[in-house]
Chain A
């Protein structure tokens, strides 16, 4: 594959210089892991549009960020309070500022037994075996150059591990605050989540950009759910308007486990949220839902790949997008049913509202099916706000703007209603209302 060297070399060139300062440098396995990942990244290159899975998203914008050695070493900024979405005391809180863990802003009081929660960088020092085992759970990065990039340069992130049967009694709020007020920076966040048999947790993840300056976040998330484990994982991506945010999640779901995901994207100049889920045993369920609200020249890419590797697994996806001004949305959803995966249930829905003639949607819902006893479907639609509904509301005295906003809100509410933790619906609905300014 032909690669764009101008985008790949800044990272490759600075690796040797940065290596000694990266977390876990003293650990030979960690260094070996990083070296391998860098080779793999250098070989594949930063993805370009020649790569089919990147057909509609272009990372050229990264060229404009001057990613010097200093930029690849994010500097902390001073804040004294994290912008939380949940009332104090109602949730555990983990805060990262420009990628670094801030224990002073976090709240981990009263964690139950059998729960390991904290910073990957810190735990790599204090419990290296644990981090090594978690990182080893997902090795296959051949087709994901951004994960390889992340592995080579990863600094910090969330580590959550639950022992068998443990339940996180309160929602875990993870806040990533980013600001390039001290200059452009790039951060590779690595989040490791592993839930043992029958354990259960709810995470509300919030990415916030504090000012308009450009920066680059490349996150990689490794999620492992053992038999019967449940993870509710809800995310709000509200990075700064000039930020580039790429996030790749690799999940492995064992028998009877349930992953319930929802991602609301409203921020970043360019964002890509890629999710790859492997359903490895009977009864594994996966919900990948979300919404994206874009305006100005924002670009938002949602890519999902669900691999059904075992009989009797199911997935469900509902994504809703609203595109205003000159924004662009991309939705690529792929459901793969492998030969042995009989009795698979896979459904996917992607609906988009285009508010202007300059907005653009590119969608590619894909079914790849090698087993016959399956029920799979996808639906995709794009269009504008329904004229009849608009007329109905106008005839009741609503202004055009508020009628439109109301209809958009209702449109998005359908995907929000997919969130299985109903207590969190309001958090998302409020964010949507803020965006719509109603």
Chain B
């Protein structure tokens, strides 16, 4: 550790003196010490050999972060985060990685089995130290060739900063400015990896893009930064996350996703989030503070967010659409399932600026155990959004009498020709439906899973097929132990 500190001190000295002249050091150490200060930001930037504009941007973000208060408006409750008690670059493993699946928590394996995940993938997900060469890598390589033929760029954000600096510089932070909110600000200062996608004009991406298939994506870290640009007339469907519970040692996750859609283009972004939710008593679990926002910059552009949120101890996430281009479309389909002591405050913002823009929000919240789930959303019709339309439906389902479900929509209209419709309902899981299933010999837990799947169907249908099948199973698994 002493050597590391020394290195960091050296870097700090160098950075203060020489970095402004574009001097980049080659650092031997792989880790930055615990804690966060300006030198951590400089360390990360130097480590990743970033251009000076990006370092400046990170530093601006860091300085602003210091001045920003924690957002406290969400209906979530957790002890204050000690930002100095975390690693921001290549955190050393605190525990030995399991050598084989025999050493992995049997509970976890049981879940994998139910989801039908192949053995090799199970090893990867559980963090078993296997050889780096496994099936998905070769699959990924094949995919890369296919994408390159079409001119699609799909790489890590670090590579993009090196290889496509103009595109990154033009769009990074253009949808989520570094000072947007405390968590986005932290991400801007210390993001270490993430994905970059550029779909050229008129190209329909030949396959679903998934972080899962990107080389080096196995350890994207806790401050992920994703930037997707769909140029005129293009289309891409992007999948993030995975249904299997992921082993992760970082408690705080603050990701930022920015989408930019130009004329006639479309991005479909699907997320399945199943980070460790903590145990039944709410001990441990991931804090998932995500800022996701897309800008429909062009005419007839479209962004569609679909999310299945079942994991994390605390979820704080509002995938949003800024509908700037005329006739642009924003969609938000969400399932948020909370069980035990989980807390989720999630929703969307639809900002209508262009003419004839339309948006649709379908949010399904399911609370069980002692969990709290909140839908929080904003629909804003600007003065120039002539003929804009929004339809919002938020339904909450309660399982058990100790959980909570809340709906907090904000509706702002400054345009008479804009039409807004909002509906929300809250009810408990129907005894009649459960009885009907039970009567036909379906076990209690399966019956609940069946009813809940029916409740979520509208959203599940929006998922790409391979995700949808797993997500359906996930819905059932997430609610295990909530009845009886």
Contacts and interface: CB of A to CB of B under 8 A. Distances in A.
Interface of A: 52, 339, 342, 352, 354-384
Contact of A369 (B381, B398, B402, B420): B398
Given A369-B396, A374-B426, A376-B425, A355 B409 contact: no
Contacts of B404: 368-370
Nearest to B408: A366
Nearest to A376: B426
Interface in B374-424: 381, 383, 386, 396, 398-424
B426 A361 contact: no
Interface of B: 73, 381, 383, 386, 396, 398-428
Given A357-B417, A366-B408, 19 more contacts: A339-B402, A358-B383, A358-B414, A362-B413, A363-B410, A364-B409, A366-B409, A367-B406, A369-B405, A373-B401, A373-B428, A377-B423, A377-B425, A378-B407, A380-B421, A380-B423, A383-B419, A384-B416, A384-B417
Closest CB pairs A-B (n = 3): A372-B398, A354-B416, A383-B419
A339 B401 contact: yes
A363 B411 contact: yes
B418 A382 contact: yes
Contacts of A363: 409-412, 422
B414 A380 contact: no
Contact of A367 (B401, B411, B426): B426
A293 B204 CA distance: 51
16 contacts: A352-B413, A354-B418, A355-B416, A363-B412, A365-B407, A368-B406, A369-B404, A370-B404, A373-B428, A374-B428, A376-B427, A377-B424, A377-B425, A380-B411, A381-B422, A382-B418
Contacts of B402: 339
B401 A372 contact: yes
A379 B392 CA distance: 10
Nearest to A366: B408
Given A372-B428, A374-B426, A375-B427, A381 B416 contact: no
Given A52-B73, A339-B401, A380 B422 contact: yes
A383 B418 CA distance: 6
Given A371-B401, A373-B428, A360 B414 contact: yes
Nearest to B423: A379
A383 B404 CA distance: 32
B5 to A, nearest CB: 40
Contacts of B399: 372
Nearest to A381: B421
Nearest to B410: A364
Contacts of B381: 382
Contacts of B427: 374-376
Given A339-B401, A355-B416, A372-B399, A380 B426 contact: no
Contacts of B423: 377-380
Contacts of A354: 413, 415-416, 418
B126 to A, nearest CB: 35
Given A354-B416, A383-B418, A362 B401 contact: no
Nearest to B375: A367
Contacts of A373: 401, 428
Contacts of A371: 398, 401
Given A371-B401, A373-B401, A380 B416 contact: no
Contacts of B417: 357, 383-384
A382 B401 contact: no
Contacts of B428: 372-374
Contact of A365 (B398, B413, B419, B424): B424
A128 B419 CA distance: 54
Contacts of A384: 416-417, 419
A39 B399 CA distance: 44
B375 to A, nearest CB: 9
Contacts of B413: 352, 354, 360-362, 382
B424 A378 contact: yes
B419 A382 contact: yes
A360 B386 CA distance: 14
A342 B409 contact: no
B410 A379 contact: no
Contacts of A365: 407, 409, 411, 422, 424
B73 A342 contact: no
B210 to A, nearest CB: 36
A364 B411 contact: yes
A384 B385 CA distance: 13
B116 to A, nearest CB: 32
Contacts of A379: 421-424
Contacts of B422: 363, 365, 378-381
* Interface-centre pick from A352, A357, A360, A367 (highest chain B CB count, 10 A): A367
Nearest to A337: B426
Given A339-B402, A362-B411, A372-B403, A367 B424 contact: yes
A352 B415 CA distance: 12
B412 A380 contact: no
Contacts of B408: 364, 366
B420 A381 contact: yes
Nearest to A364: B410
B25 to A, nearest CB: 44
A377 B396 CA distance: 10
A357 B415 contact: yes
B281 to A, nearest CB: 19
Contacts of B419: 381-384
A387 B409 CA distance: 27
B141 to A, nearest CB: 50
A267 B428 CA distance: 42
A319 to B, nearest CB: 13
Contacts of B409: 363-366, 380
Given A372-B398, A372-B400, A381-B419, A360 B412 contact: yes
Given A365-B409, A382-B413, A357 B383 contact: yes
Given A357-B417, A377-B426, A342 B406 contact: no
A370 to B, nearest CB: 4
Contacts of B407: 365-367, 378
A376 B404 CA distance: 13
A175 to B, nearest CB: 35
A203 B441 CA distance: 58
Contacts of A359: 414, 416
Of listed B386, B396, B428, residue having the most chain A CB within 10 A: B428
Nearest to A363: B411
Contacts of A52: 73
B456 to A, nearest CB: 18
A369 B394 CA distance: 14
Given A339-B402, A357-B415, A369-B405, A362 B425 contact: no
A382 B412 CA distance: 9
